[in-house]
């Protein structure tokens, strides 16, 4: 919910308590006036809601609008909703010239609001005309029970949820591909992590990199791929299964921090030329020695990750490489990408990548 420090400036005379609303409605009805009631969250007020309320006013003499309190909007819509708190939502609706009174109601269900206020008409949009759900059926019955009638407007439906979804998924944003080295960048460098038991206790997230990634995924549409050379497999220090376990463990830690990695890629092989040069020092597993590998600065691991995700490098407006070695910097140069060194401070990293 968006924070607002001073709510006292959002007071309106036509925002009243449910008790006062009940008394006024009773008085107006005794005076021969018809009372319309519209009920809902009215979050992120938009043209569809405004038109609905305008049409509702044409169906009655006096229009009341009940605004669902914050806790019940959250209960129904989930975390992050409402966008505006109930005072601000009431203020926006109350400023519409065709709305006579607004009530913030602390009820979970519309039937409770109807039972409390007892309007002449309970007014819904046209999408409810033939709708059969326990909620609307109980509201139809309740308005009958209090001596009223349900009425419908004939305006086109447009919901806050649809608008939020459109903004999140359809409005064009910079689409960034974040290609992130693992050891020494995403986590603190360990000499062949996985070689020894208790590797879980050795994993330490690099806060400056995590903060940068978190910032970018909040502001832009990001796809995140972790790539790493894992020559420890070829050296016989650990297996591919160990690498996968470590990646899954780190992935779990990152999810707790609100970061979801889209793909994990690694190369367990070493080049045959390198293996030949080190044969007197290291006994390599020949199953993991190849003439040509996907080791960085080769960009094939990144391309493999994109293929698994059904994406193409052309889908992105910018590529950002996070790394700590010359091979990472070389990869960035090959791809004409922004390079973020693992040792860079968070603020300086943001200066490099903020568009």
- Residue 2 forms part of a structural domain: no
Domain span including residue 147: 7-164
Q: What is the pLDDT of residues 89-137, one digit of tens each?
A: 999 999 999 999 999 999 989 999 999 999 999 999 988 999 999 999 9
121 and 239 both lie in a single domain: no
Last residue of a domain, one of 137, 164, 191: 164
- Residue 65 forms part of a structural domain: yes
Task: Evaluate the CA torsion angle 111, 117, 118, 123 in order and state its sign.
Answer: negative
134 and 207 both lie in a single domain: no
What distances in angstroms separate CA 203 from CA 198, 227, 268, 340, one per listed residue?
10, 17, 20, 21
276 and 334 both lie in a single domain: yes
327 and 188 both lie in a single domain: yes
125 and 51 both lie in a single domain: yes
156 and 188 both lie in a single domain: no
Q: What is the pLDDT of residues 13-31, one digit of tens each?
A: 999 999 999 999 999 999 9
Q: What is the pLDDT of residues 268-299, one digit of tens each?
A: 999 999 999 999 999 999 999 999 999 999 99
Report the C-alpha gap between 49 and 129 in whole angstroms.
Answer: 17
100 and 187 both lie in a single domain: no
245 and 306 both lie in a single domain: yes
Confidence (pTM): 0.55
Is the pLDDT at 58 greater than 80? The verdict is yes
What distances in angstroms separate CA 321 from CA 106, 192, 297, 349, one per listed residue?
50, 22, 11, 12
Last residue of a domain, one of 108, 140, 164: 164
Last residue of a domain, one of 135, 164, 193: 164
225 and 253 both lie in a single domain: yes
Number of domains in the chain: 2
| Helices marked H in the chain | 18-30, 47-57, 70-77, 86-94, 110-117, 134-145, 160-169, 207-219, 231-234, 240-256, 272-277, 300-309, 326-334, 346-353
66 and 124 both lie in a single domain: yes
265 and 283 both lie in a single domain: yes
186 and 207 both lie in a single domain: yes
The CATH number assigned to the domain holding 177 equals 3.40.50.1000
Q: What is the pLDDT of residues 65-84, one digit of tens each?
A: 999 999 988 888 887 788 88
3-state secondary structure of 179: strand
- Residue 97 forms part of a structural domain: yes
């Amino acid at each position: 919910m968006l924070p607002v420090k001073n709510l006292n400036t959002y007071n309106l005379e036509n925002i009243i308590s449910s008790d006062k609303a009940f008394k006024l409605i009773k008085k107006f009805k005794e005076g021969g006036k018809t009372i319309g009631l519209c009920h809902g969250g009215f979050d992120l007020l938009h043209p569809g809601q405004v038109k609905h309320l305008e049409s509702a006013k044409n169906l009655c003499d006096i229009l009341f609008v009940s605004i669902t309190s914050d806790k019940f909007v959250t209960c129904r819509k989930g975390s992050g909703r409402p966008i505006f708190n109930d005072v601000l939502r009431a203020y926006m609706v109350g400023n519409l010239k065709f709305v006579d009174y607004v009530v913030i109601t602390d009820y979970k269900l519309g039937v409770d609001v109807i039972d409390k206020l007892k309007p002449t008409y309970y007014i819904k949009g046209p999408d409810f005309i033939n709708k059969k759900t326990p909620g609307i059926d109980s509201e139809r019955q309740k308005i009958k029970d209090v001596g009223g009638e349900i009425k419908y407007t004939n305006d086109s439906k447009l919901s806050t949820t649809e608008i939020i979804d459109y903004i999140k998924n359809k409005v064009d944003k910079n689409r960034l591909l974040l290609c992130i080295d693992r050891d020494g960048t995403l986590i603190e460098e360990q000499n062949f992590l996985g070689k020894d038991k208790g590797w879980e206790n050795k994993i330490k997230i690099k806060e400056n990199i995590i903060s940068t990634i978190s910032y970018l995924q909040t502001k832009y549409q990001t796809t995140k791929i972790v790539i790493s050379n894992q020559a420890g497999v070829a050296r016989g220090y650990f297996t591919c299964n160990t690498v996968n376990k470590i990646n899954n463990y780190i992935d779990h830690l990152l999810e707790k921090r609100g970061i979801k990695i889209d793909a994990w890629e690694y190369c367990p092989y070493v080049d045959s030329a390198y293996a030949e040069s080190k044969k007197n020092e290291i006994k390599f597993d020949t199953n993991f020695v190849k003439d040509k590998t996907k080791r960085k600065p080769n960009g094939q691991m990144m391309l493999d990750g994109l293929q698994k995700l059904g994406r193409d490098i052309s889908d992105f407006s910018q590529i950002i490489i996070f790394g700590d070695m010359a091979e990472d910097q070389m990869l960035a140069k090959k791809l004409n990408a922004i390079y973020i060194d693992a040792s860079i401070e968070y603020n300086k990293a943001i200066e490099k990548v903020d568009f």
